[in-house]
Amino acid sequence: MKYGYFDDNNKEYVITSPKTPLPWINYLGCNEFFSLISNTCGGYSFYKDAKLLRLTRYRYNDSPLDTNGKYFYIKDGDTVWNPGWQPTKTPLDAYECRHGIGYSRFMGAKNGVTAKILAFVPMNDTCELQQLVITNDSSEEKQLSVFSYVEWCLWNADDDMKNFQRNLSIGEVEVIGSTIYHKTEYRERRNHFAVYSVNTDIDGFDTSRDDFLGAYNGPDKPDVVLNGQATNSIASGWSPIASHQINIKLAPGESRSFVFVLGYCENPQDLKFESLNVVNKAPAKALLDKYRTDADVEKAFAELNEYWDGLLSRYHLESNNDKVNRMVNIWNQYQCMVTFNMSRSASYYESGIGRGMGFRDSCQDLLGFVHLIPERARERIIDIASTQFEDGSAYHQYQPLTKKGNSDIGSGFNDDPLWLIAGTSAYVRETGDLSILNESVPYDNDESKATTLMEHLKRSFDYIVNHKGPHNLPLIGRADWNDCLNLNCFSEHPGESFQTFGPSEGPVAESVFIAGMFVKYGEEYAQLCEQLNMTDEAAYARAQVEDMVNAVMISGWDGSWFVRAYDAYGNKIGSRECEEGQIYIESNGFCSLAGIGMAEGLPRKALDSVKERLDTKYGVMILQPAYTKYHLELGEISSYPPGYKENAGIFCHNNPWVSIAETTIGRGDRAFEVYKKTCPAYIEDISEIHRTEPYVYSQMVAGADAPRHGEAKNSWLTGTAAWTFVNISQYILGLYPTHSGLSIDPCIPKDFGDFTLTRKFREGTYNIKVTNPSHVEKGVRALVVDGVTVDGTVIPYEAGKKTYNVEVVMG
């Protein structure tokens, strides 16, 4: 069942029923000011940091779902309704929500009145704009009252929901004309405040929530709206809000348009003490003056669209397959940008007050956006590397505002160092910018301890070399990619503290997955060394990689698939010897895509086992059989009920590893089959089962053991976005950036048909036409670049050349 449809021309998903199975959201903002917005106008806004500078309140874990947002109420006689349906839920005569790229539009109609909202964050300002257009479609004059409503958050979202003894006394507002100022915290900080304003005279306002709603009412039945009369309340403590009342008279056919601005403003830090509590309104005026008219809104909206069109045109596919086209050209790249902006901070599943930026997560996200914003990828790499320790290990997370490592979480996730090589290699291959490798980058943010970035990569690499266990496999540490496989530590209460555990010699659990990563990224490290003419180091790296391959062949192969790990007692995890958890996806995906045992046919066997044992119609599960009992020695993993999350859920993030591995052995049909199973556009039709947004990936889909098999959770902020884009763009469609140029070597289903790609790469635009006359899954029979036949699959890069016309014949 569907709740809407894709409008590819407008790059929108059009939701036609407000009662989606879960709130379906979108993100507004590209730089500093962000809003989350659901299909019923739920959501919240923040400036830079979703925890510390939260502008408006949201209530997670609340019932009904999706409580609080930025609402407009329309009172038409005795009927009160919202254009986005919530919160009054008055049945609408017509409803539509269009989530677009960086904006959302709503249309609601009731009793002959149509209201349209366009919401977006303009490119270079710290505000959300809401253009509200109300039209009288009836044959009689309409007398309406319009009320806006936002509930302020007292900035620190964490404190806001805990520290009531203080917070119920600190709220302050000021109202001048049509502008409502939220000044809480201004006394002690004197540097920031928020505004909510509209470009017309108002007929009243409210700033005290309890006066507006009535103490025992919710936003579904606000007293003020039901009575049709604002009270001009001035909040003093408690819960400040901002609501404007505008009365309008509309002749038949007449429309009125309003521009609302919800903004964040900052004053210079050094304001004099006397000016305390008198908000310096200059920054607000400057902001509001920019958005006074519909023309101002249109101009800002055009700028926003131009920005996104520019970004999304950097990789463009034309094929016979609409679903793949729309994912590649629109939604998958868009989601990659959202993960760049948000990391794992704010979604409807991440509270915005929990996690900072993940070392591993951010490096992987980079794989999906480096072609879109290479300059910002460069900065991000330096930020991430600056949190690394001198021995090559890394803080697992860092804070976005301070960019400092998070010492509460600390380090010890032994896959982390290698992801830095993955991200840097992707950046250098994309841009050819070797200068980044010579940048001086501190360790643990201490400038007195700084080396080149290349030296950081060496320490990443050597961290694995120097931390091997009894089977010469990498030590796993606290966990590798799988956060919940905690083989050296245990917790009586997962999610709380962990204690070290295991034999007295120290934690010796080993990871075959990290071994696979080492083989893949060790080779990429060697290639980076070659770019800097460090031939001895490249040879050393390749010798180490060779040793690792041997270790996996000796101790990491279980007969038909790759073992997952060895626990602290030297027992195998992910082996036929185990009772539960006999086979895992991660080591099989990664060791196969790294090509371990290729000559011996191991990847093929491993991938066949994955298909046989882990596949479902909704995707490939992380492990089987699911853990039915709680295993203290495995850590958090078996704390989940079977079929959910790391305990045999379908982790969408590592499905692409399997698909990529399939492309390395040339099985295009199977690679694409795996791609399709979790691909949003392909599962739109089962939205009632899948439940999360049909235009973006979710982190996890419930596995076969779960009662709700096929149901997704944790949409938007997941490494799945980057990895699925890498898979489809670089491996299935086969356009892979190498140091010497773009390589084109597709691996597609036999019936995929011909296709064209337009790709910006360094200074060039590549127009690539791929034909497949013999319907093969893989193989390039001819590569012709500007009329000249080229051997191999790499389109030779020529510095400064602007256009490349490329023809590829598969066969």
Which CB atom, from 125 or from 646, has the smaller least distance to ligand NOJ?
Answer: 646
Residue 520 to residue 545: CA distance in whole angstroms: 9
CB of 482 to ligand NOJ, least distance (A): 5
- In the list ligand NOJ, ligand BGC, none, the entry touching 510 (Cβ below 5 to 8 angstroms by class) is none
CB of 697 to ligand NOJ, least distance (A): 13
* Residue in 103, 71, 118 with CA at minimum distance from that of residue 90: 71
Which CB atom, from 422 or from 484, has the smaller least distance to ligand NOJ?
Answer: 484
- In the list ligand NOJ, ligand BGC, none, the entry touching 633 (Cβ below 5 to 8 angstroms by class) is none
Rule CB under 6 A: say whether 646 interacts with ligand BGC: yes
- In the list ligand NOJ, ligand BGC, none, the entry touching 361 (Cβ below 5 to 8 angstroms by class) is ligand NOJ
In the three-class reduction of DSSP (H, G, I as helix; E, B as strand; rest coil), residue 324 is classed as helix
Taking CB atoms, the residue at the shortest distance from ligand NOJ is 483
CB of 25 to ligand NOJ, least distance (A): 19
As given in the structure block, the two tokens for residue 91 are 């049945």
Q: What is the DSSP string of 176-193?
A: ETTEEEE-TTHHHH-SEE
Rule CB under 6 A: say whether 673 interacts with ligand BGC: no
CB of 680 to ligand NOJ, least distance (A): 19
Residue 273 to residue 276: CA distance in whole angstroms: 5
Stretch 486-515: interaction string toward ligand BGC, x if CB under 6 A = ---------x--------------------
In the three-class reduction of DSSP (H, G, I as helix; E, B as strand; rest coil), residue 626 is classed as coil
CB of 99 to ligand BGC, least distance (A): 26
Rule CB under 6 A: say whether 615 interacts with ligand BGC: no
Contact 742, 766 (CB under 8 A): yes
Contact 59, 69 (CB under 8 A): no
Which CB atom, from 268 or from 354, has the smaller least distance to ligand BGC?
Answer: 354
Which one among 645, 691, 713, 759 touches ligand BGC, defined by CB under 6 A? 645
Residue 645 backbone class (left: φ over 0; alpha: ψ -120 to 50; beta: rest):
left
Total number of residues binding ligand NOJ (CB under 6 A)?
Answer: 9
- Looking at 483, 608, 669, 754, which residue is catalytic? 483
Taking CB atoms, the residue at the shortest distance from ligand BGC is 483
Give yes or no: 289 in active site: no
Paired sense of beta strands 803-810 and 764-771, if any: parallel
Q: Which residues pair with 405 in a beta bridge?
A: 398
737-766 residues in contact with ligand BGC (CB under 6 A) are none
Which CB atom, from 267 or from 406, has the smaller least distance to ligand BGC?
Answer: 406
Q: Is the dihedral of CA 775, 779, 781, 787 positive or negative?
A: positive
Residue 415 to residue 482: CA distance in whole angstroms: 10
As given in the structure block, the two tokens for residue 412 are 């010890």
Which CB atom, from 47 or from 481, has the smaller least distance to ligand NOJ?
Answer: 481
Rule CB under 6 A: say whether 484 interacts with ligand BGC: yes
Rule CB under 6 A: say whether 483 interacts with ligand BGC: yes
Contact 755, 792 (CB under 8 A): no
Residue 453 to residue 565: CA distance in whole angstroms: 31
Which CB atom, from 96 or from 416, has the smaller least distance to ligand NOJ?
Answer: 416
Contacts of 28 by beta carbon, 8 Å cutoff, 6+ apart: 34, 35, 36, 37, 102, 103, 104, 119, 120, 121, 128
Stretch 623-662: interaction string toward ligand NOJ, x if CB under 6 A = -----------------------x----------------
HSE-up (13 A, CA, CB side) for residue 587: 36
* Residue in 91, 102, 104, 39 with CA at minimum distance from that of residue 65: 39
Total number of residues binding ligand BGC (CB under 6 A)?
Answer: 6
Which CB atom, from 495 or from 787, has the smaller least distance to ligand BGC?
Answer: 495
Contact 661, 607 (CB under 8 A): yes
Contact 68, 219 (CB under 8 A): yes
Looking at residue 357, its amino acid is M
Rule CB under 6 A: say whether 586 interacts with ligand NOJ: no
320 burial class (0-12, 13-18, 19+ CB within 10 angstroms)? exposed
Both ends of the chain: CA-CA distance in Å? 39
Question: Which residue has tokens 């044959």?
Answer: 139
Task: For helices 512-531 and 453-465, give the axis angle rounded to 10 degrees.
Answer: 150
CB of 644 to ligand BGC, least distance (A): 9
Which CB atom, from 429 or from 478, has the smaller least distance to ligand NOJ?
Answer: 478
* Residue in 425, 372, 324, 330 with CA at minimum distance from that of residue 668: 324
- In the list ligand NOJ, ligand BGC, none, the entry touching 713 (Cβ below 5 to 8 angstroms by class) is none
CB of 499 to ligand NOJ, least distance (A): 20
344-383 residues in contact with ligand NOJ (CB under 6 A) are 344, 358, 360-361
CB of 718 to ligand NOJ, least distance (A): 7
Residue 59 to residue 68: CA distance in whole angstroms: 7
CB of 410 to ligand BGC, least distance (A): 12
Stretch 451-490: interaction string toward ligand NOJ, x if CB under 6 A = ------------------------------xxxx------
- In the list ligand BGC, ligand NOJ, none, the entry touching 671 (Cβ below 5 to 8 angstroms by class) is none
Catalytic residues: 483
Contact residues: ligand BGC, CB under 6 A? 483-484, 495, 636, 645-646
Contact residues: ligand NOJ, CB under 6 A? 344, 358, 360-361, 481-484, 646
